[in-house]
Each structure stands twice: as C-alpha cells, then as structure tokens.
A and B are shown apart, each in its own frame.
Chain A
Amino acid sequence: MVEIKIDEELVKKVAINARLILTDEELKKFTPQLAEVILESFNKLDSINANEEPSFQPIEQKNKLREDIVKESLTQEEALQNVKEDLRENGYIKGPKVM
C-alpha cells in the first residue's frame, strides 16, 4: 500500500518541477481535487497484482529504424517563421538567460 499524503506542499513541489507556480487560490482549489483522483483512482492499482510485462504501446512493435540518409532541412526563414519578430536576432532565436 502506498502511504501517501496529498497536501499543498506536495502539490506545490510537483507543480514547480513542471514549471507551474500555482497561486494560493489554485493551490487551495487543486489540492483536494488532485487528492481525490490520486487516492480514489490512482491508488486502486494497489489492489491488483500485475506481473505482466509493461505495455508501452497497446500493440508491441520493434525495430523501426531509418537509413542514415540526409533529408532536406527547413530553411532558416522557415525555422524562424513561428518565432515572434522581436525574438529573432541574426538568425538566432532569443531566449531567456541561464544565470
């Protein structure tokens, strides 16, 4: 049995991992909702034994590989087409800083 407490602290921690900073309101609202799903639905799996092999897709497949052949890339213009004008600089895409 997975002993687990779904509280605001846990929800907050998980949210940050996913780059979601929840407001206090959201945290208050979501926590009981998520707790219900996890404790009532997810935890159901505790009551079933499953020693089967995991199914990563419903139908097992293997060996989908391609030859090492070069295909035409997008042009720089095409690659930047969906980038906002002011986030393009000399062919680069402008992004936030890392330090």
Chain B
Amino acid sequence: MVYEETLNYFVKEAKKDFSLVEKNLESIIGEVKENIKNGLNHIEFFDEEFVLAQLKELKTSEKKGKLYGVPITVKDTACVKGLESKSGSQILKGYVPLFDATVIAKAKEEGAIILAKTTQDEFGFGTFSTNTQKIPLNPFDNARSCGGSSGGCAGFTASTKNYHVSIGESTGGSIAAPSAYCGVVSVTPTYGLVSRNGLIDYANSLDKFGVLGRNVDDAFSLLEVIAGNDEADSTNLGIEYVAEEVPLKKVAIAKDILEKCDEEVKKIFLAKIEQLKKYVKVEEVTLPLNLEYALSAYYIIATSEASTNLAKLCGLRYGVQGDVEGKHFDEYFSEIRNANFSEEAKRRIILGTFARMSGYRDAYYLKALKVRTKLINEFKNAFKEYDAILFPTMPTIAPRFDEIKNMTPMQNYAMDLCTVPANLAGFPHLSINAGFSEGLPVGLMVVANHLQENKLYSLGKVLE
C-alpha cells in the first residue's frame, strides 16, 4: 500500500473497511522480512505470530481508537510484554518483560499493532547505531550510518512504503539524529510528558520516548496517544497532549551552533529557513554556555546515572545467566559483565563510576547538575523573546561506516553538539528534513520551551 495520505486518513478509512488494515499489514510484514533478508538491519526482532495475533484480536475488537490498525515499530529500549526486549544489548538476551511499557499499552489501547523491535546502539550508547551486533544501514546510501541510537526506527520509517509510525527513544539526541540522517520527521517531547515506565534505562533524568513518522501530522498523532499521565512513573508530569496549531511571532537561529556545522549543511539549512520567513520573523541568537558546556555536563550526568542503572545487569533473574556453583559473587558478576558488555558500555560505565566516586563527585557529578540549571536558564532566557530556536539537527550528513571506525570516543561524543543541549534541558524538539546534500538528507531542528509542543507542530506544518 503506497503511502499517500496521512495516518489520520488511513485510520478513518480503516474503521470503515478492515481490509485496508489487513492489506497494509500484509505489505509491511513483507517489507520487514525483506529488510531482514537483505541485511538492512533495521529490524532487531520480529515475530509474525505475535503480529497476526494482534490483527486477529483487532478484527473483533470494539475499540476503534486513534491508531486503529496502524503498525508501529518500537525501539528495542521499550518493554513489550511477551517480546524479547534487550535495548540492543547482548547482556539482556532472553529478557522477556512481564509488562508493556506504558507507551505500548497506550498505543495498543488505541488499536495500534506492535510490528517489530528495531535496532539501536546498545542501551542508547551511541550516535551512529554502530555499537551493536546488527548495524542498520542508511536507506539513501547503505555504506552510511542511519544515525543513532534509534537507527532502526529512522531507517525503517524512511524505507517503508506503507502506513506506519515508530516509537523511538532519546537520551542525548537519539531520536533527532537518526531522523535527520534518514530524512524523516521526529518529535522528542518535553521530559516527563511521556511516561518512562517500561523504558529500559540509559539515564533516568534524560531518557524520553518520542515519535518518528513520514510527515508532521503522523508523528504528532502518535505523540498524542503516547503522552499523558502515568502513576507508575514518579517523574511523569501528569499532563495530556493534544496537537493544535498556535500563533507564532518570532523565532531565532542559534548562530553559534550553526557555525559549528559543515558548510553544505549550513547552506541547506539557511535555504530552508528562507521558506519560514514568509510566516514568522526570523532573528539570531547565541547560546554560548550551552555550546561550550552542554556536552560535558551531559556526558557526566548521563554516564553517572547509566553506571548505576547497569549495575543490576549481573547474570541474575533475567538475561544472560551462567553457572553460579562454586563461584564467589564478585567473580560471577565480573565474568558475566566482562563477556556481555560492549566496549562502549564498559567505557561509559567506567566514566560514570568515576564521576560519582568520592573525591571526584563534587567536581564532576554535583557540578554537572548545577551547570545543567545554568544551561536551562540560558535557553529559557532566549524563549522569553522567541517562540522557538532553530539550527541543524546534526553538524554533518550521515558519515560512512569507515569514517566512524576511525573516530575516537571523544570525536563520537562531539557529534552530539547540536542535539545534546535540548536533551539535557528536557526541551521538546522537532527534526524535519531541510534538503539533500550528496544525496543524503539534512535535518533541521526546532526547539521550543517546556510543554510548547504545539509551537513545534505549527512550525513543522509550515516547514513541511
């Protein structure tokens, strides 16, 4: 089924004619199988029976929800009851959650069909989805990265010809980055708008579930469904979300962040901005503190939290387990962890453990939390004058895999310079395609103040 209209149109028609659901699903299942066969690696885990059982249930269901019959791919980070959920890691192999993440439950409640888990960097540790067994390939150029860590989500969303949306997850930019490299729309919501219950943690104060789709309306339709109150998550804001257009006055380009990007990226970005000038005033702003310190503060906080989250992965209760007899627990735990964490996971665990160790804790962990407040305030100051702040989503187009292999970890982290500031501060942001360079998509990022998703929606509609 060739995707011609929006999801809302599909849902409306599907409620009248169930065969549309069946046709769309059959077609997309075919794409999933092709994807796996051809080694595009967007799909981490697919169970046809699991999918068809949902179809069967939907057919006789009374519920005619907002996502009726819509197939959804889900980043492996999300717990899906009955489906292996590993967050792209080796150590959680075999973990089958006993509960659905709240976002999954909500989507199912509205009639969505959970299609497959997608590939990603292990636990979200990466910008290119290369820290994993199955590396997703960019649909525009298979020798290049999809971006990360929600690489599989973006890759599949860009490839599919059928009605579909995707639930991704972002900690430092893992929804925006791959959506930019793969030319699709994404929304990373305000921290706390969408429940984290069932999100396999990377960094609890930074993780958010978000959405990817072919167009703005599709993405926001999914966001409406997964956002909202959840008692099970103590950091949830308890607020529902409804997408609607709102008036806009002034936006600003973050000049200093723009300067850090490749020339081609800058050119395409600025050309797209011209389009915007018809509808809204465009000025310039600088975020010097964010540019200088956001990456550092982010990596300190993220790795500190991650190192505690990953402590529970030690070969007990779920996932990879070994032989315990005769072994002291230090020995057993170390064995399992050494053998089943990737290099990047080990590095981040060590960095995080270091940053919160006594003697270093004040200078790194606690300092980073204070710097975070400062950086949030810098943005908020800008938001007093501007409805949104814009800059390229990534400083480059999708790199080639051989380029990535030669990057040091520090060089890797530096690629997050555009996405990290908004993620550290929990501001909602949209990424939308601005054009193409060398045949690869260039993404444009729009950042709004907390709970101002509708500003993103309105700007998205204009930019589309």
Contacts and interface: CB of A to CB of B under 8 A. Distances in A.
Direct A–B touching in the complex (beta carbon < 8 Å)? yes
Interface of A: 2, 4, 10-11, 14-15, 17-22, 26, 29-30, 33-34, 36-38, 40-46, 48, 50-59, 61, 64, 66, 74, 78, 81-84, 87, 93-99
Contacts of B441: none
B330 to A, nearest CB: 7
Contacts of B311: 18-19
Contacts of B350: 11, 14-15, 18, 20, 30, 34
A23 to B, nearest CB: 8
A21 B425 contact: no
Nearest to A60: B373
Contacts of B296: 41-45
Given A19-B314, A26-B346, 12 more contacts: A19-B330, A36-B408, A50-B370, A50-B371, A52-B370, A52-B377, A55-B372, A59-B191, A59-B192, A64-B235, A95-B316, A96-B327
Contacts of B248: none
Interface in B278-328: 289, 292-293, 295-297, 299-300, 307, 311, 314, 316-319, 321, 324, 326-328
Report the 5 A-B pairs with minimum CB-CB distance, sorted nearest first. A58-B426, A54-B369, A82-B318, A52-B373, A50-B370
Contacts of A41: 295-296, 299, 410, 413
The listed residue with most A CB atoms (<10 A of its CB), out of B299, B311, B351, is B351
Contacts of B346: 15, 20, 22, 26, 30
Contacts of B377: 52
Given A57-B191, A59-B426, A36 B366 contact: no
A39 B427 CA distance: 28
Contacts of A99: 328
B327 A97 contact: yes
Interface string B141-161: 000000000000000000000
24 contacts: A4-B360, A14-B353, A15-B353, A20-B334, A22-B338, A30-B343, A33-B409, A34-B409, A37-B299, A41-B410, A45-B296, A45-B363, A52-B374, A55-B376, A58-B205, A58-B376, A59-B237, A82-B98, A94-B324, A95-B329, A96-B327, A97-B326, A97-B327, A98-B328
Contacts of B354: 10, 14, 34, 38
B329 A54 contact: no
Contact of A46 (B297, B334, B363): B363
B424 A58 contact: yes
A93 B324 CA distance: 11
A18 B303 CA distance: 13
Contacts of A52: 370, 373-374, 377
Contacts of A83: 317-318, 321
Interface residues of B, number: 74
Contact of B363 (A2, A10, A19, A36): A2
Interface in B154-212: 190-192, 205
B299 A45 contact: no
B318 to A, nearest CB: 4
Interface string B368-394: 111111101100000000000000000
Contacts of A66: 231
Nearest to A65: B234
Contacts of B351: 34, 37-38, 42
A33 B192 contact: no
Contacts of B326: 97
Interface string B399-429: 0000000001110010000000000111100
Given A54-B370, A97-B328, A45 B300 contact: yes
A69 B351 CA distance: 40
Nearest to A4: B360
Contacts of B370: 50-55
A46 B293 CA distance: 10
A42 B317 contact: no
B355 interface: yes
Nearest to A40: B410
A45 B408 contact: no
B347 A57 contact: no
A78 B373 contact: no
B195 to A, nearest CB: 12
A89 to B, nearest CB: 11
Interface in B66-106: 94-96, 98
A33 to B, nearest CB: 5
B446 to A, nearest CB: 18
